[in-house]
Amino acid sequence: MRTFIIASAILASPAIATDFRGSELGRPCTSISERELALGSKELGDPSLLNQHRFAGRAFDRDVYIIYLCKDGSLALADYHFSPHVYDDAVSDFDASYAWLTATYGTPFIEFSSDPKNRDDNQRPRAGNKPRGYQAAWEGKGFHASLALHAVPDSVGATWQVIVVVTPKADDS
């Protein structure tokens, strides 16, 4: 019975914390393209590049750009870039990402407004509110994950974008 409970706890827990879409942070980058194509993603850019892999795919029930950066053949950083939107639509992307990251990794260890004037105000962004940036971060065994909502200037004014970045961290032993 004890073995069953331990096995159930392991299976019920989130995927390996250092896992990013089936590729493990810090492990070889050799199968990234194969894994992303199996997930239905479309490869962007030059697939022969060894240190950068880019895809258009789905995450958080939204269309995203997925970027993998490798160093010395190992996965060093992975991220999701959402398309820039008007503030209220970007907040929707932020909320979907925040909800998934919290459900998977628990409460963020830090979160704050990106506006230095509002640093003490940890009220998450809401559609219809005054636009402002926001950041949150999670950590676990072998990884850091950060989520940011920020303004991106363009030719017609500021738009807003959400980015999720996942990086390995030093061994927690």
Tens of each residue's pLDDT in the chain, 173 residues:
332 222 222 223 333 336 788 788 888 888 898 999 999 999 997 877 778 999 999 999 999 999 999 999 889 999 999 999 999 999 999 999 999 999 989 999 999 887 666 656 667 888 888 888 899 999 988 889 999 999 998 766 679 999 999 998 866 55
Angle at 51 between CA 35 and CA 96, to 5 degrees: 55
Alpha-carbon distance 32 to 111, whole Å? Answer: 31
> Of 12, 10, 8, 15, nearest to 145 (Cα)?
15
pLDDT tens per residue across span 107-134: 999 998 876 666 566 678 888 888 888 9
